[in-house]
Amino acid sequence: MRWAFVGRRVVEPIAAAPVDWAFHTPRAARVELGPDLKEDLQKLKGCRTGEAKLTKGFNLAARFIIHTVGPKYKSRYRTAAESSLYSCYRNVLQLAKEQSMSSVGFCVINSAKRGYPLEDATHIALRTVRRFLEIHGDTIEKVVFAVTELEEATYQKLLPLYFPRSLKEESRSLPYLPADIGNAEGEPVVPERQIRISEKPGAPEDNQEEEDEGLRDDLSFIGSHAFARMEGDIDKQRKLILQGQLSEAALQKQHQRNYNRWLCQARSEDLSDIASLKALYQTGVDNCGRTVMVVVGRNIPVTLIDMDKALLYFIHVMDHIAVKEYVLVYFHTLTSEYNHLDSDFLKKLYDVVDVKYKRNLKAVYFVHPTFRSKVSTWFFTTFSVSGLKDKIHHVDSLHQLFSAISPEQIDFPPFVLEYDARENGPYYTPYPPSPDL
């Protein structure tokens, strides 16, 4: 199977060739329809979001046109939007297969007008096509992604993650694949919504010989499974917490319950205003293969934003990252008094997050610290939190940072590079010089 990538500038010459193209026609599209196509569309009796319906190509350079409708995007209904967008691509490909098409052309099904983040939509598009071709690749010879100039850079960036052209490109792309790539067909999966069925709940999973022992099995397991557990009196537990009389196990359960409430709110809240700050993002991996998360202090207008929403956004982004070992790179570069995170907020964040955040955080690289920030960090890690002091490393120059993280693995804000070059001299660039230089 071959794949092709084209921008708007070259769509017309390619479309002039007689191929089996599949086009997306949004519900609100304003296009001039030929009379035959218009008549066929009226027979379809509409098309629901996520569905795909077929008409002939008529005078176009295609045997068929496949019509589908992408979802509107709202962050609080993100899971539903992801599932609908997946259905669009999957149903188009399924129709193409059923009609024995050898080539399929996709434009970007969900546009910015419907509010869908371009990069998130592109991940769904590419992984759905990839998964489909893994199973039915023998029936389709070519897939073409036709995009505009606005979308081209994102497709160029993400295509190698799902369609690497060499083993070297594949190994280089692996760290950049998102943690959630759906199921075997690329469909989005929400773990907490999956039905978990256990055979003989309450009994240990042992070999067949022990199963034959019947009534001689140890019955101590009965009552330990989810259906047999009771949470107890929540009000009484809260009272014991306030009196300092609750056991360590009960405290951990209460903390987990509290974190789950924050996580649930983070997944339902509209956090697009916090995301637009680009103050927290995932980049590559460090020299030990651990995920690198970047925090840009200068991009956090502490006095202008709702810090509770900032905490929700941190949880929303980090929940699936923190399940494995990770490191934080905090750029303190050129921060002002309006960007300094209050110690009370940091303490609240540290107290709210799940234990996996603390256990799997292996290092915090504090880049371009000032004397004041070093003193504040010392006080915070000495008197407010425990177990964090040994993980913090103050880094005065990017050269020092590169001993732990390769420069190719970090997406730097431009002002950080400019500041470091001005203060510490030019640094090594991972990109080869232009042949014109």
Q: Per-residue pLDDT tens for 378-401?
A: 888 888 787 788 999 999 999 999
Q: Is 267 helix (H, G, I), strand (E, B) or coil?
A: helix
- For the chain, give the mean pLDDT: 79
Q: Is residue 234 very low, low, confident or very high in pLDDT (cuts 50, 70, 90)?
A: low
Alpha-carbon gap, residue 127 to 377, rounded angstroms: 42
- Tokens 């303190």, located at residue: 332
Query: Could you tell me the residue ranges of all domains in the chain?
Result: 15-176, 276-424
pLDDT at site 190: 66
Q: Is 157 helix (H, G, I), strand (E, B) or coil?
A: helix
Query: DSSP strand E in 148-211: where?
Result: none
What DSSP line would sit under 280-302, residue for residue?
EEEEEE-TTS-EEEEEEGGG--T
Alpha-carbon gap, residue 68 to 165, rounded angstroms: 30
* 299 in Cβ contact with 277 (< 8 Å): yes
Backbone angles phi, psi at 114, to 5 degrees: -95, 5
Beta bridge partners of 146: 6
Nearest to residue 409, comparing CAs of 394, 430, 393?
Answer: 430
Q: Is 209 helix (H, G, I), strand (E, B) or coil?
A: helix
Alpha-carbon gap, residue 109 to 94, rounded angstroms: 16
pLDDT at site 21: 41
Tokens of 281: 């993002």
Tokens of 283: 């980049």
Instruction: Characterize 217-227 residue by residue with b for buried, 16 or more Cβ atoms within 10 angstroms of its Cβ, and e for exposed.
Output: beeeeeeeeee
For 157-215, what is each residue's pLDDT tens digit? 999 999 998 888 888 888 888 877 778 788 887 665 555 555 555 555 445 444 444 44
pLDDT at site 197: 54
What DSSP line would sit under 391-411, residue for residue?
GEEEESSHHHHTTTS-GGG--
Instruction: Characterize 265-274 residue by residue with b for buried, 16 or more Cβ atoms within 10 angstroms of its Cβ, and e for exposed.
Output: ebbebebeeb
For 315-337, what is each residue's pLDDT tens digit? 999 999 999 999 999 999 999 98
User: Under CATH, domain 276-424 is a member of which superfamily?
Assistant: CRAL-TRIO lipid binding domain (3.40.525.10)
Alpha-carbon torsion, ordered 380, 381, 386, 387, to 10 deg = 150
* 50 in Cβ contact with 69 (< 8 Å): yes
| Higher per-residue confidence, 230 vs 40 | 40
Query: DSSP strand E in 57-172: where?
Result: 64-68, 103-106, 142-147
Tokens of 130: 């990839």
pLDDT at site 371: 92
Report the half-sphere exposure of 294 (CA within 13 A, side-chain side): 23
Q: Which of 7-16, 138-147, 346-355 has the lowest mean pLDDT?
A: 7-16
Domain 15-176: give its CATH code. Answer: 3.40.220.10
Quick one: average pLDDT of 395-416? 94
Tokens of 397: 């120059």
pLDDT at site 246: 54
Q: Which of 202-211, 361-370, 421-430 has the highest mean pLDDT?
A: 361-370
| Higher per-residue confidence, 125 vs 204 | 125
Q: Which residues, in sequence order, are CB contacts of 243 under 8 Å at separation 6+?
A: none
pLDDT at site 24: 42
For 100-111, what is each residue's pLDDT tens digit? 888 899 989 877
CB atoms within 10 A of CB 253: 15
Does the pLDDT of residue 221 top 80, yes or no? no
212 catalytically annotated: no
Question: In the 8-state DSSP scheme, what is residue 186?
Answer: S
CB atoms within 10 A of CB 18: 11
Report the half-sphere exposure of 22 (CA within 13 A, side-chain side): 31
Alpha-carbon gap, residue 11 to 6, rounded angstroms: 7
pLDDT at site 194: 57
How much of the chain exceeds pLDDT 70, in percent?
A: 76
Does the pLDDT of residue 154 top 70, yes or no? yes
Q: Is residue 229 very low, low, confident or very high in pLDDT (cuts 50, 70, 90)?
A: very low
pLDDT at site 212: 47
Label residue 129 exposed, middle or buried (CB < 10 Å: 0-12, 13-18, 19+): buried
Q: Which of 75-79, 220-224, 298-302, 343-347 has the highest mean pLDDT?
A: 298-302
Report the half-sphere exposure of 235 (CA within 13 A, side-chain side): 0
Q: Is residue 238 very low, low, confident or very high in pLDDT (cuts 50, 70, 90)?
A: low
Element (H, E) at 363: strand 361-367
| Higher per-residue confidence, 203 vs 114 | 114
